[in-house]
Structure 1
Amino acid sequence: MTASNWDISITYLILAHDNPARLQALIERLEEDPSAKIVIHYDQKSPRHEYKRLIAVNEKKTNVHILPKPQRVACGWGEFSIAQATLNLIQYALNLPEPSDYFYLLSGTCYPIKPLHELKVYLAENRGGAFIECKDKSWIKDGMCDDRYRYHHFLNFRRNPWLFRRLYWLQRDMGLIRRLPKGINEIRFGSQWWCLPFELLQNIVEEILQSPEMTRFFKTVWIPDECMFQTLVFKHIASRDKIVKTLTYYNFDDCGQPEIFEKESLPKVGNDYFFVRKVF
């Protein structure tokens, strides 16, 4: 394969909320690809001095973009805020000059396990593929499945577990099942870490922004980052064989808790994984 055939451009979208030193190490690894763009959302709840330090270290770099305060979101696990932060990242990245061929969503705890040029070769060989999980509810290992979206979830489960459950049980007992948004026939699930081509991602974001019904629906879904993009990719791709598994390796136990890795002992995985998640 000639160099021109694998000259794929990638924008890395990073959701981070702590440990600027670890995040900076990830940025520097991604910069090994001279054509890469890096766009970072640093959680609005994080200490101000961490955010300012991150900007100071990277302010002279033309390939690193850190979302300014108006686009930063205070994120809470299970809330729409994480999906909103992701949308803000995408919108910012899509408006950069010369949009990339692919957009790869990472967390601040992700880390590459293969040279980045091998990822570019793989994307070129599978050009047009959407590297995302779009599974049925069997993907969920423990706890609530369909009821994540069948009922409204207004509160953060971790901050208000008792009231969260009471509101859920009340809706369930009263039979207040929600309707899916127009055009959505089923909800699909999967890891929130994906790699999507430009045109597909642009179409999905346009639909979200132009459909108040779509936004209202996912705003009260529990853990929407594990179903919103997955559902819309499934809707927009006509050929199911274009939906390929995620390129980021992760592992959950039977209770849904993620496995933690260290840089010195990264897992040995297949040739079609390029990042690993939860590296400390």
Structure 2
Amino acid sequence: MKIAYMILVHEYEKNVKFLINHLLEDEEAELFIHVDKTVSIEPFYVAHDRVHYIMNCARERQSPFAMNKLRLRPLTNAHYIRKKRKRVTWGGYSMIDATFVLIGAARLCNPDYYCLLSGRDFLIKDPLEWKNMLSASYPFSYIDGGKIVDRWTARGLDRVHFHFFYLFKNKKAAYYQNRIVRRVGHLIGYERKMPYGLVPYCGSQWWTISDRHMHLIFRYLYSHKKYVRFYHTVGIPDEQFFQTILYNSHLKSELINRSQTYVFWINGFVKEFTPKDAAELEDKEYVFARKIKYEDTELQEMMAQQWK
């Protein structure tokens, strides 16, 4: 059972290094790391004999469903994307672009599962235990999803009905931009429809998708190019893009409706975990949690003691 861990990174290099080293305890695992274009990649490097720095990545304007033209070095298990890194803006399609850079690279190692993580995620369970869970549940995928109208209410449909253009990395600036778009959209009475008659779904950005379902996604994108164009101007597409394809598909019965990553929301904001939360996290039926609050490894080390 081979798992491709794909990590989206823009901060917290100590946590990223700790996460990489512990995921490499699974000798079959392959890691792919995308560091945001706006920050230096060097601080995130891990000194490890199984680490490789990818020099040639996909072309800038390559279609998202095309295979990345790069080579993976044999006998290495962690690969940094060095060229054609993306500048990711909060809530924008650039997050999907960066995700497809990782997927394109990961496809070359023919994994059984693709697991998407953040640089502020940390392990709360043994990665080898997670591997055994996936082996037992293959080819089922772990992807949290529900209809937007049920999860986000009718107001949440604004994210697909109106055109959103995220230009800022700052979340607060993007929030006020959202409000302007919504007000203008409601004022003029404009509302666009979902392509191909799809029902819009939403859920956690962090998922673990089997190769069977990833192949389905690529086949769908190849024959439904309007879908990609539509989602370029959807609000927060990273929480909808993959859910909408899979939960509208004939394989939706093979989806486990939950994420592998524990996230706790407080008044619209994600809780940031500290060492004081270790006991609480030990009881969670998840493999990862986010977000880590401090740029150190105290909490991660406390959690790792469970399986050492």
Both proteins in one fold, TM over 0.5: yes
- State how 1:119-158 maps to structure 2 within 5 Å: 119-137=130-148, 138-140=150-152, 144-156=155-167, 158=172
The answer to whether the aligner puts 1:262 opposite 2:274 as a matched pair is yes
Aligned residue pairs, count:
264
The aligned amino acid for 2:138 is R
In structure 2, do the counterparts of structure 1 residues 169 and 239 end up closer, same or farther at CA, with 3 Å as the change threshold?
closer
Which position in structure 2 is the counterpart of 1:108?
119
Measured after TM superposition, the shift of residue 114 of structure 1 is: 1.2
2:180 aligns with 166
Partner of 2:82: 68
Mapped contact 1:128–1:242 kept (Cα < 8 A): no
Which residue of structure 1 aligns with residue 64 of structure 2? none
- Could you list the per-position Cα deviations for residues 179-204 of structure 1 after superposition, in whole angstroms to 9, with x for gaps in the alignment? 2112x421111110000101211321
Which amino acid counterpart does residue 274 of structure 1 have in structure 2?
V
TM-score normalised to structure 1 length:
0.85
Q: Following TM superposition, by how much is the alpha carbon of 1:176 offset from its aligned partner in structure 2, in angstroms? A: 1.7
Q: For residue 291 of structure 2, what is the aligned residue in structure 1?
A: 278
- 2:3 corresponds to: 10
Q: 2:175 & 2:281 partners in 1: Cα distance?
A: 37
1:92 counterpart letter in structure 2: A
Show CA shifts across 1:203-233 (max 9, x none). Answer: 2134335533111111111110111111111
CA deviation string 1:234-263 (max 9, x = no partner) = 12343435333112111112x320011125
Contact 1:105–1:193 (CA<8 Å) still a contact in 2?
yes
Q: What is the match of residue 18 of structure 2?
A: 25
Asked if structure 1 preserves the Cα contact closer than 8 Å seen for 2:91 and 2:174, the reply is no
Where do 5+ consecutive residues of structure 2 fail to align? 52-75, 294-308
Cα distance in 2 for partners of 1:270, 1:264 equals 14
CA-based RMSD: 2.3
Structure 1 residue 11 displacement after superposition: 0.8
Distance 1:16 1:59, change over 3 A: farther
Asked whether the 8 Å contact 2:139–2:212 carries over to 1, the reply is no
% same residue? 28
